[in-house]
Amino acid sequence: MLVLKQRLTVATFHNLRVKDIYKETDDCSVVTLDIPEELQDDFAYRQGQHLTLRAEINGEKVRRNYSLCSGPSEAEWRVAVKLIPEGKFSTFVNSELKTGDYLEALAPSGRFGVEVNPDKAKNYLFFAAGSGITPILSMIKTHLKQEPHSTCKLFYVNKTAKSIIFKEELEQLRNAYFGRLEIYYFLTRERRDIELFNGRFDDERMEVLCKTFIDIPDTSEVFLCGPEDMVNYVSEYLVNAGLPKELIHFELFVKGLSEEDKARAERLSQQNVEGVNLTIIDGGKEFHFTMTKDYDNILDAALGAGADLPFACKGGVCSTCKCKVLEGTVEMKVNYALEEDDLDQDFVLSCQAVPLSEKVKVDFDV
Ligand code: FES
C-alpha cells in the first residue's frame, strides 16, 4: 500500500483567457494567451521555453507542450499549434478554440536556449523543420534584439511555400535587422529554380551549405528543432565537419523508438520496483512513499500516490518532469530531452526513470 506522508505541492495550472487566435497557415493556429498582471512574474520566460497547456476535450483532460514563439521582451505569450492528423489537442485548437475561450497552462519551463549577453558578438545557426520554427523564432527575435553584435542564420525546411509558418514575421525581422539575419528556405514538395533549396538536408546540400553559408570555426551556437532524423543527421554532420558537440542544442519531434531504445524500455519495464523507497523533494518539502508494481517509473508512481508533479508529454521529449537524483540509481527508458551535461549532473526525466536500487531520492526543485 502506498503511503504518501503529505500531499505534494501542486504544479499549478492557471486558467487563462485566449486573447487572440488566428490561422498562420491552413493547418497551424497561433494562440495568444492573456496573462493577468499577478501571474506575469511566474510566467516570465526565456527564449526557447515552452508552455504546458491543458483543455477538457470530450470529457477528457488533455495536455500538450508547445514552445513559445513570442520573445520574452514582447510581453506576449504566444504558441503555434500545428494540426496533427488525429491529434486531440491540435484538432481542438485548430477547429474549436476561439478568442475569449479559456485554456489551462503551467508556467513556462524548458532548457532549450542559452543566456543572452548584450556584450557578446555571437554567430548563431538555426535549423528548423515545419513547426520546429516556434522556439527558434523566439530565439532569433531575442538574440537580434538583445545582442546587437550577434548574427543569426536560419535554415528552414517546409513542404511548400504556402506551408511556411511565420514567413511574414521572419521576413520582417530580416528587414528590420538587415545584414544580421540570413534565412534560407528549403522546400520538399515544390520545385524552385535553385536546386540547392529543393529537398531536405543531405550530404550534398550540407557540403554546399558548409562551403558557402556556414563558417564552422566562427559558429558560436547551433539550435535544431524538428524531426529526430533531421536533428540527428545535421548534428552529426556538423560535428564531423569540426563543430564542437557542446555548441549544438536541439529539441526533437520523436517519430518512433530505435531498436536500442525499444530493448532498453522493454528491459526496464520488467524491472521489479515493488518495495522501492522513494523520496521526493518538491516545493522545499520531502515526501516518502513505497512503490508498488503498478507503475515502473518515478513520475507515474508519485502521481498514482496522489502527487501533482509537473509533466506534459510522458514520452521523454519535453523535460517538464525533470528532476535530480540525489540518492540511489535509476535508469531512463528513453531520453530525447536531456543533454550530456544534464546527465553528468544526475538529472533524469522522471517519466522515464525506473529505480534500480532499494532507495531513491529525487529533487524536483533544482
Ligand atoms: S513529461 Fe515530458 S519528458 Fe517527462
**Structural domains of the chain sorted by starting position, each given as residue range(s) with its CATH number in brackets:** 14-105 (2.40.30.10), 123-253 (3.40.50.80), 272-363 (3.10.20.30)
End-to-end CA distance of the chain: 29
- Does residue 93 contact residue 29 with C-beta atoms inside 8 Å? yes
CB 351 near ligand 1, within 6 Å:
yes
Beta bridge partners of 252: 226
Q: Is the dihedral of CA 330, 334, 340, 341 positive or negative?
A: negative
User: DSSP per residue over 248-259, as a string?
Assistant: EEEEEE-----H
- Ligand 1 atom at minimal distance to the Cα of residue 322: 4
- Confidence (pLDDT) at 139: 98
At 23, list the grid cell: 490561422
CB 319 near ligand 1, within 6 Å:
yes
- Ligand 1 atom at minimal distance to the Cα of residue 65: 2
- Confidence (pLDDT) at 260: 81
Residue whose CA is at the smallest distance from ligand 1 atom 3: 316
CB 347 near ligand 1, within 6 Å:
no
- Confidence (pLDDT) at 5: 36
C-alpha 156 to ligand 1 mean position (Å):
26
Query: How far is it, in rounded angstroms, from Cα 216 to Cα 207?
Result: 12
CB 297 near ligand 1, within 6 Å:
no
- Does residue 134 contact residue 67 with C-beta atoms inside 8 Å? yes
CB 337 near ligand 1, within 6 Å:
yes
Give the Å distances, CA to CA, from 366 to 3, 282, 283, 345.
Answer: 25, 9, 10, 11
Query: How far is it, in rounded angstroms, from Cα 317 to Cα 351?
Result: 10
- Confidence (pLDDT) at 208: 96
- Confidence (pLDDT) at 326: 97
**Max CA pair span of the chain:** 67
Rg of the chain on CA atoms, in Å: 21
- Ligand 1 atom at minimal distance to the Cα of residue 318: 2
- Return per-residue pLDDT of the chain as tens, 366 residues: 333 333 333 468 899 999 999 999 999 999 999 999 999 999 999 999 999 899 999 998 888 889 999 999 999 999 999 998 778 899 999 999 999 999 999 999 888 999 999 999 999 999 999 999 999 999 999 999 999 999 999 999 999 999 999 999 999 999 999 999 999 999 999 999 999 999 999 999 999 999 999 999 999 999 999 988 899 999 999 999 999 999 999 987 765 667 788 888 889 988 999 999 999 999 888 999 999 988 999 999 999 888 888 887 788 888 889 999 999 999 999 887 888 888 999 999 999 999 999 999 999 998
Q: Is 154 helix (H, G, I), strand (E, B) or coil?
A: strand
CB 333 near ligand 1, within 6 Å:
no
- Confidence (pLDDT) at 262: 80
- Does residue 249 contact residue 222 with C-beta atoms inside 8 Å? yes
C-alpha 335 to ligand 1 mean position (Å):
9
Question: Does the global pTM surpass 0.85?
Answer: no
User: DSSP per residue over 72-124, as a string?
Assistant: GGGT-EEEEEE--TT-HHHHHHHHT--TT-EEEEPPPB---S----TT---EE
CA neighbours within 13 Å on the CB side: how many for 47? 21
Ligand 1 pocket test target in 313, 323, 330, 338 with most atoms within 8 Å of CB: 313
54's enclosing H/E stretch is strand 50-57
